[in-house]
Amino acid sequence: MASPASSLPAAAQRLSLRAALKLDAVVTGANGLAYLALAGPLADVLGLSAPLLRGVGAFLAVFAAAVWATGTRRRVPRAGAWVIVAANAAWALGSVAAAVAGWGDPATAGTVWVLLQALVVGGFAELQAFALRRGRAA
C-alpha cells in the first residue's frame, strides 16, 4: 500500500508548515484581491455575478490574512493550522459541489475556474496536513 505522502512530489514533501501556510495566504490573498478589484470583468468571463465575486473576494482576503498571521507566528499553533486544513478541505469540497450543481449559473470558464480552485485549495490542505503530521513547523 502506498503511503499518503507518495502522491506529493518530493519538493512538496520537504515544504514546512510555515511555508505551506504562507504560500496559501499569498495565493488566496491575491485571488481575493483580484475578485474585489476586478469583479466586473471577471463576472463577464466567469458568468458569475459581480456581487458574488466581491463577497467571495472579501472573505478570501480576510481568510488569507488569518492564514498569514498563523504562519508567521513565532510558534505555529497546531490547532489553528488544523482549522485552516479543515477550512481548505471544506472549501475544496464545496467548490466541487458548486461546480457540479451549477450554483451561480457560471459559464463554462467559470465552472472550470471553480474546479481549478478546488484542486489548488485541496492541494494546500494536503500540504499543510502532511507538514502537520510530519511535525515540520519551521
Q: Are 42 and 110 in contact (CB under 8 A)?
A: no
Question: pLDDT value at position 2?
Answer: 46
- How far, in whole angstroms, is CA 2 from its chain's centroid? 26
How many domains are contained in the chain?
1
Is residue 89 in a domain? yes
Task: Choose among 57, 59, 79, 76: nearest CA to 68.
Answer: 76
Residue at 10 is within a domain: no
Q: Say how many C-beta atoms besides its own lie within 10 A of residue 102's C-beta.
A: 11
Residue 3 maps to a domain: no
In the three-class reduction of DSSP (H, G, I as helix; E, B as strand; rest coil), residue 26 is classed as helix
pLDDT in tens, 67-102: 999 999 999 999 999 999 999 999 999 999 999 999
- Residue 90 domain flag: yes
Q: What pLDDT, on a 0 to 100 scale, did the predictor assign at position 85?
A: 98
Contact 116, 54 (CB under 8 A): no
Q: What is the pTM of this model?
A: 0.89
The residue range of the domain holding 99 is: 15-134
pLDDT bin (cut points 50, 70, 90) of residue 137 is low
**In the predicted model, is pLDDT for residue 1 greater than 50?**
no
Residue 14 above 80 pLDDT?
Answer: no
